[in-house]
Structure 1
Amino acid sequence: MAPIVKVAVIQLYPEPLQPEQNFAKACTFIRSAASQGADLAVLPEYHLTNWQPKEPSFATLCEQWEVYLKGYQALAKECEICIVPGTIVESHQGEGEGEGEGDRLLNVAYFIDGAGEVRGKYVKKNLWGPERDHLTGSGRDDHPVFDTPFGKVGMLICWDLAFPEAFRELIAQGAKIIIVPTFWTLKDCNEAGLALNPSSEVLFLDSILTARAFENTCAIVFANAGGPPGHGYAGLSQVTVPFVGALTRLGSCAEGMSVVGVDMQILEDAEENYNVRGDLARDDWHYDYRHSTRKES
């Protein structure tokens, strides 16, 4: 039988521009997860600073990214737990693409193992509209898959969810768990959509997470930000698998954590039924999912 992976999905409210406070809160959740026997703890996107790119201090705070990455590495080693610390926005000075161009901000997810070693790194590729004025995406770089104590894992970030190609590229490389740190709010829907359905983004998230799990015979660990009622936080952090849907699902606003066992046999049984990975592996398969492939003219 396949193993059971115990996952802690953590939904917290990132206090705007308060990385030390948010880091301390995240560490408290992670220690609690470890005490409950969790193998993996996952935090939301922008969990250190919230999304405040127009504030002058935002970019300055992002210069401290290595401090927090090393802090999570030390915590992972101390607690012997794997950690995906949501995303950490990194400021890289003087690394613009053109000559004389200035700083770059990268939105980065890391996978840290229980020995404190970084096993994987992913820079957000599909930037949400307002992010494009502030962040640099990973462009046409391949989506990476990496080896972990639970097998092959891939990571995506927030708006990447909307692109099935991203999942297919990870699945084609053998990933069975996809981890998705997120900062998704109810206000990400425009006025036309909200007029039709004020809960449009709830429908979007629940539907797409279930669909992606089924169509890729994978487990999805989705950690979103929560926050005070009335401020538009979507929450809904969950761990989703085929056949079942959400094994656990947090509410729309409040901070919290849920620890749930993911029976990896579910993924094997789903693949036996749907044969998605088998079809992707065929030499004559008729779809091409690799971003790096260039069609010959």
Structure 2
Amino acid sequence: MHKIAVIQMHPKPRELEQNHSRAVAFIREAAASGANLAVLPEYHLRDFDPENENFRSQCAHWKNYLDAYCALAKECHICIVPGSFAELHRNEETQEERLVNCTYFIDHNGAILGRYEKKNLWHPERPIVTGSIHDAHPCFETPLGKVGMLICWDLAFPEAFKELIAQGAQLIIVPAFWKLTDASEVGMKRNPLSDQVFIDATVVSRAFENTCAVVFCNVAGPAAEGYMGHSQVAVPFMGCLEKFSTSEEGMKIVDVDMDIVEEAESVYKIREDMGKQNWHYMYRHTTSR
């Protein structure tokens, strides 16, 4: 049984220190409540605002915050997935800059066990963020078992999940910055809650179709500005275990019984089928369970 703290927080525009302080307070509360893992949303230190003149310079300080989360994880003896950072990397030889959207898995001793750069970029990111186009989706051994990490729009691609499942992932964590307005005027004209329907259906479907647990941690914010929240945790058989019903900031600690994952696999045999030599799709489940 894992106790997972899903932290749905509102990243105030360009207020890195204030946002970080609130995230730290939530994580300390999660650890005090007995949580094994705390998860933050995508771009939790600031909103994605590349047109702001300070955006790129602020993205150069990501390592300071990552180090701070490592120290906090060790102090509080809790694993942390610190949402995602907009990281500015500079090649010292060529002075070329590269901006990536990256998340980490930090264990309860403060060690970084996994790193993932977002592959499937949302459309506004593509002009300035470099995606991990040709890199495989990595899977990591952690105190919570084998974990895979995706970011936001990756959720829309079942191929990403299959690649992680093929490596043995049983828990997949998805920090997100997903708003109702992402459906655009076209989608919202059809259904103002279109992307809420999208999230609710997809998170549960991914859990069932991959016999895995899925943690989706979204940003909070004013509903009038298009924020939807709806952070949630899903497993096969049970569907959604816990969900934020509003877009308000807060934290939920969810008990996730990972035995359900094994029980679901014994019934659906998805990993077993993927492991067969004559499996008819590209991804094969190649690790022993």
Normalising by the smaller structure, the TM-score range is over 0.9
Give the distance between the partners of 1:217 and 1:44, measured in 2 at CA: 24
3-state DSSP of counterpart to 1:56: coil
Give the distance between the partners of 2:153 and 2:124, measured in 1 at CA: 12
3-state DSSP of counterpart to 1:133: coil
Deviation at 1:140, TM superposition (A): 1.2
Gaps of at least 5 residues in structure 1 are 291-297
Of residues 107, 110, 126, the one that matches 2:104 is 110
Of residues 144, 160, 168, the one that matches 2:154 is 160
Please show how residues 11-160 of structure 1 align to structure 2 within 5 Å. 11-94=8-91, 102-160=96-154
Equivalences, count: 284
Query: Partner residue of 1:257?
Result: 251
Give the distance between the partners of 1:193 and 1:64, measured in 2 at CA: 36
Q: Does 1:266 align with 2:251?
A: no
Of residues 5, 8, 28, the one that matches 1:8 is 5
Query: Partner residue of 2:217?
Result: 223
Does structure 2 conserve the Cα–Cα contact (< 8 Å) formed by 1:49 and 1:58? no
- Per-residue CA distance 1:198-241 (angstroms, 9 max, x = gap): 10000000000011000000000110001023011120001111
3-state DSSP of counterpart to 2:6: strand
Does structure 2 conserve the Cα–Cα contact (< 8 Å) formed by 1:235 and 1:252? yes
Give the distance between the partners of 1:141 and 1:289, measured in 2 at CA: 15
Deviation at 1:101, TM superposition (A): 7.3
Does structure 2 conserve the Cα–Cα contact (< 8 Å) formed by 1:124 and 1:157? yes
Gaps of at least 5 residues in structure 2 are 285-289
Give the distance between the partners of 2:101 and 2:186, measured in 1 at CA: 29
What residue identity is the alignment partner of 1:105? L
Give the distance between the partners of 1:22 and 1:188, measured in 2 at CA: 23
The share of aligned pairs that are identical, in percent, is 56
Give the distance between the partners of 1:147 and 1:264, measured in 2 at CA: 15
Deviation at 1:8, TM superposition (A): 0.3
Of residues 139, 158, 168, the one that matches 1:174 is 168
